[in-house]
């Protein structure tokens, strides 16, 4: 909350509190996200991780108190992969990034290749496996120019090699001056980088 | 002035003031209703064309008039809650809808009962009747939308948006229904304007209209109190209220 | 004008001379009375429902509070 | 982090959106086919329901065509945002650095193209089937095109307000049918006037005015409704 | 592993199924009102589109009520299996140790109860509003009840085939739609005859025969369609 | 393939092969599942794990060769939780088990409590968090009387405590004479029990 080195902050949360279904999920949660930070939100099922991320992204407004200062563009990937079963991965991805910037078809193809969907660019997404489905969505990370990523359980359904690759990507992003806030029930391998927000206690670690 | 608005935003104050208004308005309403009814039913002479069935007018017209006015109360409350984010307006808007729907329902049912002896049919597609039916739909839409949401805060906002859309649209709907009727107007059913009403019939009617306005206000305040209690369930003043009620019981 | 006079005048102004006449209303009684009956029912519902809603909610809340105070402070589930 | 690319022109974004919606619709032809088939069946049913006296039919043709257009618009508008809500695309739309007013308009445009516009295009065929005087056909097409656009916009409001609710599609009809009624009245009046040989232009002008009003205001209500629904 | 419990009586299972579907449709008391209000509003559309003259409306009344029935059946039957397909409940249904024929019938029954049966029940009210001769009302209720059941069954076939988003399935379901036609023809004929004072029984008998046929065959087709759809 | 101790087999797969989208995912896959076995199907995204499970469950028939002999009742829990957003957890669960056997309301409540949904029995499922959603589905395991469980990524969205508890449940089931075939990208803690089917090679381990 101190205005110290605030110039570089990507996001500042002031005294966030949230009540859902009659229960107080957290209160007095304040933190600042600066470039180079990788924050993992931890807590048991139902602790309010998803809710917190949605508040940070600006999607949720009811029942919460406090203020969120967003000082940089964000990329939010939620639980639902937002992949349309009837469209192909290429079409899905093209539409996802259409709001952010005009990406050439070649770049989209490259991103799909990087998430291991080479050869699957033009099949209908409904024939993809669960992990491949998710990967279509994760391909956005390779195209995003937003410095702050908000990722809700990005490793769901991804195989081991995919998780390792994704962690590498997160590390690169963080070391390149970006920041990541993510939730996951799996422990990251990049432990030396990670800072935690434990939600059950409502404290910042 | 500002402090008044500020107070309006304070739920316990509103709850209390609504209670004290109700304490004298409710008896007045009931007395006015009773006097108006007895007057209309017992002390007026029948209409020379419609006979005694016209006595329905003492509930039909007040219900219709107040139901129409109610929509505007609701829409204004909705606008206030959306624009100035005043929670109390939200509560008021929510409280208006069921009352308005009930009054519209009364107007429709009494009208159609009136129609049977007068026109020989329960229902005609007259302009005014059709608009009244549409008004009922509009009210029920707001009620249903509110009930459908689990998150009552979101429900309030959604209803406010809907009633604002309604405010823009109601004049259009009314004009177009009028116009539609005049375009088609079949010779068989002419709706009497009812402007040549006898004074002896008019006074009880006016009294009943006033009484229905009071009734609307009473119901509005009562609904608001119920709504306030539910929304503020986790605040201290409501808890105190609950404990007090428990002690009394 | 004394009260007696006033009552007498009222009585003179009464349109219906008997209860039967009042109920029948020259053949229109069924319509008029059913309209008034329905209206009465709806108005009663309009007045009583919010009252009942408030009472019931407060009672429920009181019970909830009592339960919570009675039991040792527990944090809600989700473990 | 890839090199910063500036946000694309909003028009390009909206175009992508419209194209995506159309692709989705074309890949599920039932969505398009059902309303048209419904239209055709009702048109075929009417002579059966009335006895095929041509003059009577012609009398009613404008009203019938309009009611069918209205119903098929009504029942398809429930789906405008639903699947996007369920798979999370709607959140992404709200987060995209683009004016929501315009993207919402793009959704509605796509919906109109696959319901109203298509219906307006094929309506001459149905008009002939129920003996509408051919003089009235241009007015019919124009009126349908203008009117269904209003219907799509108004329907969008209902869809936005109810998309988070996961309840039967009946609620939305409750909300928006009253607002459909003026369109029905003027639309069918335009066609009827044309069928009688009178000029339909005044009615079409009223429909046009409604459309302008709807384009100006409905997207605001839709955008507000979507924000409410995503966060219910 | 919990102690083995024998599979429950199939009838109990089907009852649970119907109850679940009904619960989903009417999560709260207000929800029951929605379909009814929808019907009321659609009835109100017709005078607005066709003009308020009572005799004209009376002429059309059977056709109007049948159009509403068709519409609510056609456009809601698409969703009978969709959400169950998307969230995996359909797989569980196929795997349950219960005859699929009957569970499918339970789905259809639930769909019919909340569209057709409900409409049939309230149709007298609407019949009065659009001046249908009261002599025709019993025939109307019977015809609607029988006919909408056939519509639900036939619609279920289409729904089962299209639920898996298969292109081929969509084609078949478009082919199935014309089977709605005979129902409409006989259904509205029954009402019209009754309005004219002629006996409606022969038409009702035909509808009944169609219903028997549909009950015997449609669940087989639906079950097969579901198996195909689930096996993407 | 040998008819050896076959009397006890719960499931026998003979020379399974599968072609999907023009690619052969596996072929000549034969194995037998006996009580006391815990099989984990492994492989990268798109290897055909889900497809194999669906074949074993009898949900998928196209494009596959070979034979599956099912000799005992099965319980299949797929990717999708089959939890209706509009129904409460209690209603959802009651419907899920309705096909298998009449369970009393008390047992259903107990099962929900065991998966940590105590107090959430009667809220609409759409307000549950991702993990709680999944847990509604997993509560079926506590009610099931089927000896063979086919579980497709059961640990998705479940927190650490939940995973441990679930593993315990699987172990109990296996040691009580049941058998489990599951897919997961997370390594199980019960490694001493687990046998693997590696799908990428199309070989049985
Ligand atoms: C379903 C049937 C009916 C409905 C929905 C209906 C509706 C209405 C409405 C909305 C009004 C208030 C209009 C206003 O103040 O702006 C009204 C007034 C009135 N109605 Fe009805 N009505 C119905 C049937 C009848 C019948 C059958 C009669 C008698 C023949 C009747 C006689 C009147 C009269 C005399 C007024 C007062 C006229 C005036 O103040 O201008 N109504 N009705
Ligand atoms: N709309 C709502 N109404 C009431 N309660 C809600 C609502 N949305 C969420 N909740 C409750 O808020 C709590 C937190 O949910 P959230 O999705 O944030 O949890 P989470 O930490 O992401 O859990 P998981 O690890 O399972 O994903 C849950 O207990 C849930 O029941
Ligand atoms: N209907 C289909 N048509 C064509 N290809 C399909 C179809 N269904 C699945 N496939 C393909 O089969 C492969 C295996 O899919 P499956 O879902 O079995 O993978 P999986 O091993 O479960 O992967 P994951 O770990 O991502 O869940 C995928 O490459 C997928 O593209
Ligand atoms: Mg979560
Ligand atoms: Mg899989």
- Residue identifier of the C-alpha nearest atom 40 of ligand 1: B194
Q: Is F62 near ligand 3, meaning CB less than 6 Å away?
A: no
Q: How many helices (H) and strands (E) does chain F have?
A: 5, 9
Residue E170: the pLDDT is: 63
Indicate yes or no: CB of B102 within 8 angstroms of CB of C36.
no
Q: State yes or no: pLDDT of A1 exceeds 50.
A: no
List of residues 6+ apart from B160 with CB closer than 8 A: B78, B79, B81, B82, B90, B93
pLDDT-derived band at B103, boundaries 50, 70, 90:
very high
Say what the pLDDT of residue E167 is.
62
Q: What's the CA gap between D172 and E38, in Å, rounded?
A: 9
Q: d(Cα D151, Cα D183) in Å, to the nearest integer?
A: 8
What does the pLDDT look like over A151-203, one tens digit per residue? 999 998 899 889 999 999 999 999 988 999 999 988 888 767 778 888 874 33
Q: Which residue has the higher pLDDT, E168 or B21?
A: B21
- Identify the structural domains of chain A with CATH numbers, from first to last: 11-73+146-204 (3.40.50.300), 89-136 (no CATH)
Report the 10 Å Cβ neighbour count for F119. 14
Summarised one tens digit per residue, pLDDT across range A2-37 is 334 444 789 999 989 888 876 788 888 899 999 989
d(CA B97, CA F103): 43
Tell me what pLDDT residue D214 has.
Answer: 95
Q: What is the pLDDT of residues D177-192, one digit of tens each?
A: 899 999 999 998 899 8
Q: Determine the pLDDT at residue B241.
A: 82
| Average pLDDT over every residue of A141-150 | 91
Check A103 against D24: CB less than 8 A apart: no
Residue C77: the pLDDT is 37
Cβ atoms of residues A77 and A137 within 8 Å: yes
F11-20/F64-70 β-pairing: antiparallel
For A30, phi then psi, to 5°, come to -130, 135
Angstroms from A48 CA to nearest CA on chain C: 10
pLDDT of residue E219: 94
Q: Could you tell me whether strands F179-183 and F148-152 are parallel, antiparallel, or unpaired per DSSP bridges?
A: parallel
Q: Residue E34's closest chain B neighbor by CA?
A: B144
What is the C-alpha to C-alpha distance for residues A122 and A108, in angstroms, rounded to an integer?
Answer: 12
Calpha distance B225→D66 (Å, rounded): 45
Query: Which atom of ligand 3 is the closest one to the Cα of A133?
Result: 26
F119 contact C CB<8A: yes
> Given B148, B169, B179, which is nearest D179 (Cβ)?
B169
Residues in a beta bridge with A31: A13
Q: How confident is the model at residue F149 (pLDDT cuts 50, 70, 90)?
A: very high
Model confidence at F1, in pLDDT bands (50, 70, 90)? very low
pLDDT in tens, A111-131: 999 998 888 889 888 888 989
Confidence of residue C41 (pLDDT cuts 50, 70, 90): very high
Residues from chain B that touch A19, judged by Cβ atoms under 8 A, are 234
Write b or e for each residue in C12-26: b if 16 or more Cβ atoms lie within 10 A of its Cβ, otherwise e.
eeeebeeeeebebbe
Phi, psi torsion values for D89, nearest 5 degrees = -65, -30
Minimum-distance ligand 3 atom for the alpha carbon of F185: 25
Tens digits of residue pLDDT in B207-240: 989 999 999 999 999 999 998 888 787 778 888 8
Q: CA-CA distance, D223 to D220, in Å (whole number)?
A: 5
Annotated domain spans of chain E: 20-231
Q: Is B117 in the pocket of ligand 1 (CB under 6 A)?
A: no
* F161 vs C contacts (CB less than 8 Å): 79
CB B225 within 8 A of CB B19: yes
Q: How far is it, in rounded angstroms, from Cα D135 to Cα B19?
A: 66
Question: To the nearest whole number, what is the mean pLDDT of chain B?
Answer: 82
Chain A: residue whose CA lies nearest to B232: A22
CB under 8 Å to C12, separation ≥6 — which residues?
Answer: none
Alpha-carbon span B129 to B111, nearest angstrom: 8
Residue F202 has pLDDT above 50, yes or no: no
> pLDDT value at position E43?
84
Question: Would the CB atoms of F78 and E16 count as touching at under 8 Å?
Answer: no
Q: In chain B, what is the straight-line distance between the N-terminal and C-terminal CA atoms, in Å? A: 40
Looking at residue E7, its pLDDT comes to 54
Predicted local confidence at residue B66, as pLDDT: 93
Q: How far, in whole angstroms, is CA E149 from its chain's centroid? A: 5
**Confidence bin at B76 (pLDDT 50/70/90):** confident
Token duo for residue F200 = 């990428």
> Which chains reach chain D with 3 or more Cβ–Cβ distances below 8 angstroms?
A, B, E, F
Whole-angstrom distance, CA of residue B140 vs CA of residue B74: 13
Ligand 1 atom with the smallest distance to the CA of B197 is 35
Give the residue-averaged pLDDT of A31-52: 91
Q: How far apart (Å, rounded) are the C-alpha atoms in residues D187 and C9?
A: 60
Task: Supply the angle between the helices C29-70 and B199-231 in degrees, to the nearest 10.
Answer: 20
Q: Is D209 on the interface with A (CB under 8 A)?
A: no
Calpha distance D177→F144 (Å, rounded): 48
What is the per-residue pLDDT across D25-84, written as a single tens digit (0 to 9) for each?
A: 888 777 777 777 777 877 777 776 666 566 667 777 788 888 888 888 887 888 889 888
Confidence bin at F195 (pLDDT 50/70/90): confident
F51 C-beta closer than 6 A to ligand 2: no
ipTM score for this prediction: 0.82
Assign A150 a pLDDT band (cuts: 50, 70, 90): very high
Specify the higher pLDDT residue, F158 or F123: F158
pLDDT at res. A201 = 44
**Looking at CA atoms only, how far is residue C73 from chain A in angstroms?**
13
β-pair partners for A148 = A74, A179
Q: Which residue minimizes the CA distance to atom 10 of ligand 2? A: F127
Mean pLDDT in residue range B151-173: 86
Contact B51/C57, CB-based, under 8 Å?
no
Q: Is F21 touching ligand 3 by the criterion CB < 6 Å?
A: yes
Query: What residue of A is the nearest CA neighbor of B153?
Result: A62
Ligand 3 pocket residue status of A131, Cβ below 6 Å: yes
SS (H, E, C) chain E: CCCCCCCCCHHHHHHHHHHHHHHHHCCCHHHHHHHHHHHHHHHHHHHHHHCCCHHHHHHHHHHHHHHHHHHHHHHHHCCCCHHHHHCCHHHHHHHCCCCHHHHHHHHHHHHHHHHHHHHHHHHHHHHHHCCCCHHHHHHHHHHHHHHHHHHHHHHHHHHHHHCCCCHHHHHHHHHHHHHHHHHHHHHHHHHHHHHCCCCCHHHHHHHHHHHHHHHHHHHHHHHHHHHHHHCC
How far does residue A14's CA lie from ligand 2's centre (Å)? 21
| A54 Cα nearest atom in ligand 2 | 18
What token pair was written down for E89? 């409940």
Angle between helices C29-70 and B57-83 (to 10 degrees): 40
pLDDT at residue C65, as a whole number = 76
CB A78 within 8 A of CB A54: yes
Q: What is the 3-state secondary structure (H, E, C) of chain D?
A: CCCCCCCCCHHHHHHHHHHHHHHHHHHCHHHHHHHHHHHHHHHHHHHHHHCCCHHHHHHHHHHHHHHHHHHHHHHHHCCCCHHHHHCCHHHHHHHCCCCHHHHHHHHHHHHHHHHHHHHHHHHHHHHHHCCCCHHHHHHHHHHHHHHHHHHHHHHHHHHHHHHHHCCCCHHHHHHHHHHHHHHHHHHHHHHHHHHHCCCCHHHHHHHHHHHHHHHHHHHHHHHHHHHHHHCC
Protein residue with its CA nearest to atom 26 in ligand 3: A131
Q: Which stretches of chain E score pLDDT less than 70?
A: 1-8, 27-32, 166-173, 232
Residue in the block written with tokens 């599968």: F18
Give the three-state DSSP class for C78.
coil
**Domain parsing of chain B, residue ranges:** 21-178+197-248
**Which H/E stretch holds residue A41?**
strand A38-42
Query: Which of B123, B143, B177 lies nearest to residue E129, judging by beta carbons?
Result: B123
Q: Is the dihedral of CA B10, B15, B16, B21 positive or negative?
A: positive
CB nearest to B162's CB, from D161, D165, D231: D161
Classify F174 in phi/psi space as left (phi over 0), alpha (psi -120 to 50) or beta: alpha
* Interval between CA F193 and ligand 4 midpoint (Å): 31
Mean pLDDT of C71-77: 41
Q: Pick from A115, A116, A127 the residue to mutate for probing ligand 3's pocket: most ligand atoms within 8 Å of its CB.
A: A127
**Contacting residues of A for D94, CB less than 8 Å apart:** 59
| Residue F189 near chain A (CB below 8 Å) | no
Are the Cβ atoms of F131 and A46 closer than 8 angstroms? yes
For residue F125, which of E83, C41, D184 has the smallest C-alpha distance? E83
């Amino acid at each position: 909350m101190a205005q110290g080195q605030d110039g570089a902050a990507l996001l500042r949360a002031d005294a966030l509190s949230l009540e859902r279904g009659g229960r107080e999920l957290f209160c007095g949660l304040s933190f600042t996200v600066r470039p180079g930070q990788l924050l993992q939100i931890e807590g048991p099922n139902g602790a309010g991780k998803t809710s917190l991320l949605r508040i940070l992204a600006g999607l949720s407004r009811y029942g919460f108190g406090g203020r969120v200062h967003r000082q940089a563009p964000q990329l939010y990937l939620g639980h639902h992969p937002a992949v349309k079963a009837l469209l192909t991965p290429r079409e899905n991805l093209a539409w996802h990034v259409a709001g952010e910037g005009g990406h050439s078809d070649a770049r989209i193809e490259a991103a799909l290749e990087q998430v291991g969907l080479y050869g699957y660019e033009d099949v209908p997404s409904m024939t993809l496996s669960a992990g491949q489905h998710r990967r279509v969505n994760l391909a956005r990370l390779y195209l995003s120019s937003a410095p702050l990523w908000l990722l809700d359980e990005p490793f769901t359904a991804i195989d081991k090699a995919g998780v390792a690759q994704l962690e590498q990507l997160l590390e690169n992003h963080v070391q390149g001056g970006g920041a990541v806030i993510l939730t996951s029930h799996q422990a990251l391998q990049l432990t030396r980088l990670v800072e935690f927000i434990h939600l059950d206690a409502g404290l910042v670690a | 002035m500002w402090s008044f608005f500020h107070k309006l935003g304070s739920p316990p104050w509103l709850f209390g003031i609504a209670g004290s208004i109700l304490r004298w308005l409710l008896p007045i309403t009931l007395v006015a209703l009773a006097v108006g009814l007895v007057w209309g039913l017992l002390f007026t002479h029948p209409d020379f064309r419609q006979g005694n069935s016209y006595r329905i007018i003492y509930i039909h017209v007040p219900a219709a008039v107040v139901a129409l006015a109610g929509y505007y109360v609701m829409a204004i409350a909705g606008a206030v809650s959306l624009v100035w984010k005043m929670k109390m307006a939200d509560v008021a808007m929510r409280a208006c809808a069921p009352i308005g729907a009930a009054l519209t329902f009364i107007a429709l049912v009494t009208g159609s009962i009136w129609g049977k002896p007068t026109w020989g049919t329960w229902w005609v597609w007259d302009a005014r009747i059709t608009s009244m039916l549409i008004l009922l739909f509009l009210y029920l839409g707001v009620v249903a939308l509110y009930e459908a949401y689990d998150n009552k805060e979101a429900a309030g906002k959604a209803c406010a948006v809907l009633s604002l859309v309604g405010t823009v649209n109601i004049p259009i709907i009314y004009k177009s229904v009028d116009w539609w009727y005049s375009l088609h107007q079949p010779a068989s059913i002419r709706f009497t304007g009812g402007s040549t009403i006898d004074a002896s019939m008019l006074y009880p009617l006016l009294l009943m209209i006033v009484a229905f306005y009071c009734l609307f206000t009473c119901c509005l305040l009562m609904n608001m109190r119920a709504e306030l209690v539910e929304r503020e369930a986790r605040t201290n003043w409501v808890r105190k209220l609950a404990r007090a009620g428990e002690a009394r019981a | 004008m004394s009260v007696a006079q006033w009552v007498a005048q009222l009585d003179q102004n009464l349109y219906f001379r008997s209860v039967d006449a009042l109920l029948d209303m020259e053949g229109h009684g069924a319509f008029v009375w059913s309209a008034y009956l329905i209206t009465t029912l709806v108005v009663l519902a309009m007045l009583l429902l919010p009252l009942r809603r408030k009472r019931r909610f407060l009672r429920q809340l009181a019970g909830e509070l009592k339960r919570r105070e009675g039991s040792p402070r527990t944090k809600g589930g989700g473990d | 982090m890839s090199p910063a690319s500036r946000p694309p022109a909003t028009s390009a974004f909206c175009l992508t959106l419209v194209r995506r919606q159309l692709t989705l619709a074309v890949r599920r032809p039932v969505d398009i086919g059902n309303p048209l088939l419904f239209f055709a069946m009702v048109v075929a049913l009417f002579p059966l329901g009335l006895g095929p006296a041509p003059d009577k039919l012609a009398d009613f043709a404008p009203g019938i065509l309009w009611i069918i257009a209205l119903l098929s618009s009504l029942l398809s508008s429930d789906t405008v945002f639903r699947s996007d809500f369920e798979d999370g695309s709607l959140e992404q739309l709200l987060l995209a650095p683009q004016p929501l007013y315009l993207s919402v308009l793009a959704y509605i445009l796509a919906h109109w193209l696959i319901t109203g516009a298509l219906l307006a295009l094929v309506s001459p065929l149905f008009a002939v089937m129920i003996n509408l005087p051919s003089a009235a056909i241009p007015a019919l097409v124009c009126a349908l095109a203008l009117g269904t656009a209003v219907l799509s916009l108004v329907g969008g409001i209902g869809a936005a307000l109810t998309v988070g609710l996961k309840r039967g599609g009946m609620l939305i009809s409750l909300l928006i049918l009253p607002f459909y009624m003026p369109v029905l009245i003027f639309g069918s009046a335009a066609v009827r006037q044309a069928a009688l040989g009178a000029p339909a232009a005044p009615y079409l002008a009223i429909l046009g005015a409604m459309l302008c009003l709807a384009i100006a205001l409905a997207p605001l209500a839709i955008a507000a409704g979507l924000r409410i629904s995503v966060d219910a």
